[in-house]
Structures are given as structure tokens and as C-alpha cells.
Chains A and B, each alone.
Chain A
Amino acid sequence: MGRIKTEENRSSTARARIAGAPATTRMAPVAAKPLAARPARAGNCFFWLSLPILLGSVVLAGCSSNANKGSGNTGSGGYTPFPSDYITASGNWQFTPTATTGVLPFTSLAGYINEEKTSYGYDLTTAVLQVQPSSASNCFADATVIPMDGHTTVVNVYLESFTDEQQVLSLQGTKNSAVNQLSGKYSISSGCASNLSGTIVGTEYADVNGTFAGALTNNPNQSATLSLTQYTTGTGDGVFLLSGTGTFNGFGCFSSGTLAAQNGGVLGNTITMNFSTNDVSGARAVLTGTINPSASTITLKSFNVVGGSCPASFGGGVLNLQT
């Protein structure tokens, strides 16, 4: 039982196991037999004293070596320091998996990666990703939020999830030079989706900031201009809250609206906005859609007016960032 995947957790677990089990149990088979056979020579004392020191040193060296594996670091005993112009992997990401063993556990992963920047070449990193469950496995049907922790090196990002109905998801991704793409692999240990694995490709999405304007596809006379500001850090759901204001033309009972932060969000490439409006009867404008990686375009899938004096469902549209 437990989360024993990342290098840091391997070390933690190993340490716990060593300290938890009596050391004499581990050492006795080595030491007891010669002790009984050799009564009383001072020189032996130093031999026995040195033996565990040597073993301890071996463990220390082993840990150091293990920590270096797969991290893309060089040199002896440490990680490659981050360059002065280092770009962290922090941001809003969307991942697409491809199964190589078993079925797809989910069709996408999206959310917030937070890399705590240091200069050491090893940044503690956390993430909260939401899965789009795959009907092929159904394992994450009601366990869609996946908190994770791990670390980032110059080359790679390693993340391992909290236990989620006993499923532990591991991600390893290699960054491109611009740190807006990750490619690597995923695997799941234990629980319903145990032993499913595959490759994964991630894309970072820029913050949704600025003024976006455009018309609905089905009726060019209906248009919206939205001034939006995305929070720079995500939530425990992996969502980036979004606030702003809007002006609307051609919708009948309202012409302006306000987006409170708790009513707007970006998760990967998905954007949701629920504006309160100036309709005296309380109509709300609910917009859903997607953004492109540079966050220069919002493609609306739906524009619904809920409640108030002019409820209706309109089609999609395209809003472009105004420069």
C-alpha cells in the first residue's frame, strides 16, 4: 500500500523501512557468525566498526546515484543547476494520452502545474490535474481530480499522484526548449486502473488576459466584447479563476455583464464564464468554449442566457484578442 513511485518517495520509504526494522536483524547474519568464531582480538573491533560505516556509505552513494537516474543531470552527485534564464513549467497544461498497455484510463488531463523555482537544478513541483474519464476503463469516473507532487529538473518533470481510490498515477515528461510542450509517459499502479500505461503529450496554455471581441456564428448581429483577467496561480481543482467584464450586443434584455472570479475559469484549453448581467430580472450569460495555446482566440461552443427576461440558447462564435 502506498505511494512509492517517485525518487523522493522511494528514498522516504526506504528510509522508513530501514529505521522501522531493527538494524540488528539486518546485520546479525553478517556479524554474529565471525564473532562467535573469533574471541578477542582488538584488530577485529575496527573491522566490525568499519563494516557498517562502509555499508552506510554504500547506501548513501546508492541514494545519490538513484536520485540522478533519469533526471538528465550531469556531473557527480548533484543536479545540473538551472541556467539563469531558466523557465519553469508552472502554468496551465493540457495532456493527451495514448495507451501502450491496456485501455485508455482517461482521454485527457488538464490543470495547474506549480514548480517552486530554485537555483539547484531540482525544483519541488506540485500539480492538480482533472481527468476526462475514458469510457473504456471507467476507472476515474468519479475520481476526476488528481493532486500530484514531484520534482522538475532542467530536462524533465516527474509527478506522482496522491492515492485516488487507490490509483496512483505517475507522469514523466521531457520539456522542449520553450517549456511549453512536454512529452513522456504515464503509468498507473494499484487500484482499478492498475498497470495501464502509455505515452503522453502536454501543451501549456497561455494566460487568458486582455480584451476579446467577436460575433456569434449564427447571427453576426449578436456580438460580445470581453475584458478578462486570469489568476496567475491555480486552485486545488487545477482551475485558473477568471474575472472580468463584458459588453453584449443583440441579446435583448442585457447589454453588459460582470464575471466574478468564482464564476469564471480556465482548465487546460477549456474556458467557462458565467456573467451576471444588467438585466433587471437577473439573466445570466453562460459561455463555454476553448482557447488556443497562445490564448489569442476563444472559440465559443455555447452562449446561453439563463433566467431573467430573455432566456435562450445561441450557437458558438469566435472571440479574438484585440491588440
Chain B
Amino acid sequence: MTADAIRVKRHERASIVVWFLAISLGALLFALAGCTTIRVPIGGTPVQTNTYLTGNWVFQLTSTSGPFPIASLGGFIYAQQPGVDDATTASLEATVSSSSTCYLGADLIPLYGTVSAAGGNTTLSIHSLPVDGQTLTIQNAVANGALTTLSGTYTIAGGCSNGAAGKITGQRYANLTGTYSGAIAAAMGETISLDLTQDPVVDGTGSGTFLVSGSATIGGISCFKTGSIPTPSTSVPGSTIIGNQVSLTFADSDGSLMTLTGTINPAASTLALTSVTVTGGSCAGSLGSATLTVAS
């Protein structure tokens, strides 16, 4: 190889290096060229996988200072993905703590912010719209590897709860979908079987709820043997789940309604009904409680 050829090769290598640096600089400028209208902070690590926090969540709050207005929150988190600092919204229903009068009559809390993957962690950081002048911020809630739990801190600024702060832990709840069956407690031979389908996790509402559809079969009872969840309309409210709280209403062909309320476990494998009530028709009255398990 001649000296000129070696020089050309060296120049080629140098040119490639410079070209690479230029490309990198260009990419940086693209990133930094975020418009002035960007709400979320610039930065963070690209979210590639395992960042999808969209779903139905329940949060438990523990106070470390100031007032303690909210005992728990439950509802719909919606995280765009994939990206950097994914724009994220949430509609969470607060369970007001027994020691507080804040958030009374104002328990729906819309929030927005980001999910990021900075530092290898999937982290949720969101703050609420003002609710009676109170702004709730959930900071650096880090998810576990399976993205089924979150752990972080919260603060509340302004209004009745100003100065509240503490720790927050979140638990994702699986979809209430499948065939759930079991016996009605304190009733001889009466059984309930429900075929339920929860809307997909991306279909949560602005109230934090997810619609549920399905049908019910009641055994050991002379009336209301079957029922189905009516399609929601302007006159008929839908059956919903929010967090771990379930509220279902089935209609019989004779016009009577059966309303079930209860809770699910995180895997949605057990539906613990605290109330089964029929209104209208010859079966009207309370049937009691029941624990239903999903068919595997």
C-alpha cells in the first residue's frame, strides 16, 4: 500500500468519525429543538419496552407530614408509549380519609404528567388539575419489573389539604373478565354465575371507570334466573369497575334489576360481593353476599 493510499484511508476513517459525531450532534439538536410549547421536561431515556402503565390502579397513601386527606385512590391511568417522557393522564377517585373534610364532594381527581424510563426505572410523575384549589402531585413512583406495582411519594399544595405529604404505593388490577361463580352466603343452594367482560385497559373513562358487560345466571331461586347488563344509554347507567370497586347491574326480561357491589383482588380471580340486591319483580330484596371465583 502506498503512502497516498494510507493517507486516503486515514482520511476516510477520520471523515467517518467526524460524520458520526456530526450525526450525533444533529440528533442532539433535534432533541433540544423541542418547541417552547412543550409542557413536559426535556430529557429522559427512550422508553422501549415494559413501560406500559396503562390500566386500572389502586393507590394507598401514608402520611408523613401535614394533613392526611386521602386514604386511597383508584382509577384509570393512560400512558402513551413508546417514547421519552410519555405524556400520561389519569382519572383517580379518592377515598377521603376519615380524619379529613378536604376533598368532600370533590373526590374525582384528574391528573397528567409523564412516564419515563430514566435510570432504567419506569417512573410515573403526575400532578392533578386543581380540585377545589388543591393540587395533588405523585412524584417518582417507580414501577416493579412486572409493572404491576408503583412506589413513590405524594404532596398536595393549595387549598384545604395544603402541605400534605407522604408515601404512595400503587397496585395494578387485572381485567374483570371471565366466568365467575360461587354460592350466596347464608342461602341454601342459591348460586351466582357471571360471565363478565371488562372493556380493554385503553378504554377507561374520564371518571376513571371501566365499563363491564356480561350476563348473570342465578341458581336455586324461583325468579330472576338470568339477566344481562344493559348497554349504557342516556337513561341507563353502565356497570363499571374503578380500582378494586365493582358495581354491576343486570336486567331481567320482566324489568326487575339485580345490583351487585363488591371488590376484586389484584389478579381479578376473586370477586367478593358485599351486596346482591334485586329491585322490582317477585324476587325483590337482598340476597346477601357471595364470593365468586373465576373459572381457570
Contacts and interface: CB of A to CB of B under 8 A. Distances in A.
B89 interface: yes
Nearest to B133: A233
Contacts of B26: 23, 27, 51-53, 55-56
B240 A35 contact: no
B39 A236 contact: no
Interface in B23-48: 23-40, 42, 46-48
12 contacts: A11-B37, A19-B84, A48-B18, A60-B29, A141-B238, A149-B112, A162-B110, A163-B204, A165-B211, A232-B133, A233-B131, A236-B131
B22 interface: yes
Given A1-B80, A2-B80, A23-B24, A235 B132 contact: yes
Nearest to B20: A24
B38 A15 contact: yes
A5 to B, nearest CB: 11
Which range contains the number of B residues in contact with the other chain? 35 or more
B37 A151 contact: yes
A18 interface: yes
B8 interface: yes
Q: Which of A66, A126, A145 has the most CB of B within 10 A?
A: A145
Interface stretch (B56-64, B168-176, B229-237): B229-237
Interface in A2-56: 2-3, 7-9, 11-13, 15-20, 23-24, 27, 31, 35, 38-41, 44-45, 48-49, 51-53, 55-56
Interface stretch (B9-17, B148-156, B190-198, B251-259): B9-17
Contacts, number: 246
B7 A40 contact: yes
A66 B35 contact: yes
B18 A45 contact: yes
A144 B104 CA distance: 20
Contacts of A45: 14-15, 18-19, 22
Given A23-B24, A40-B12, A236-B110, A2 B87 contact: yes
Interface of A: 1-3, 7-9, 11-13, 15-20, 23-24, 27, 31, 35, 38-41, 44-45, 48-49, 51-53, 55-57, 59-60, 63-64, 66-67, 114, 122, 124, 126-128, 133-135, 138, 141-147, 149, 151, 161-166, 231-237, 239, 241, 261-263, 265
Contact of A16 (B29, B85, B108, B205): B85
Nearest to A20: B46
B6 to A, nearest CB: 11
Contact of A3 (B11, B12, B19, B87): B87
Contacts of A52: 22-23, 25-27, 29-30
Contact of B8 (A40, A126, A146, A166): A40
Nearest to A120: B36
A39 B11 contact: yes
Nearest to B29: A56
Contact of B234 (A17, A38, A138): A138
A165 B205 contact: yes
B159 interface: yes
B207 interface: yes
Contact of B87 (A12, A31, A38, A144): A12
Contacts of A51: 22, 26
Closest A-B pairs by Cβ, 10 of them? A52-B26, A40-B11, A56-B29, A262-B105, A23-B27, A16-B83, A63-B35, A147-B110, A235-B106, A142-B238
A259 to B, nearest CB: 11
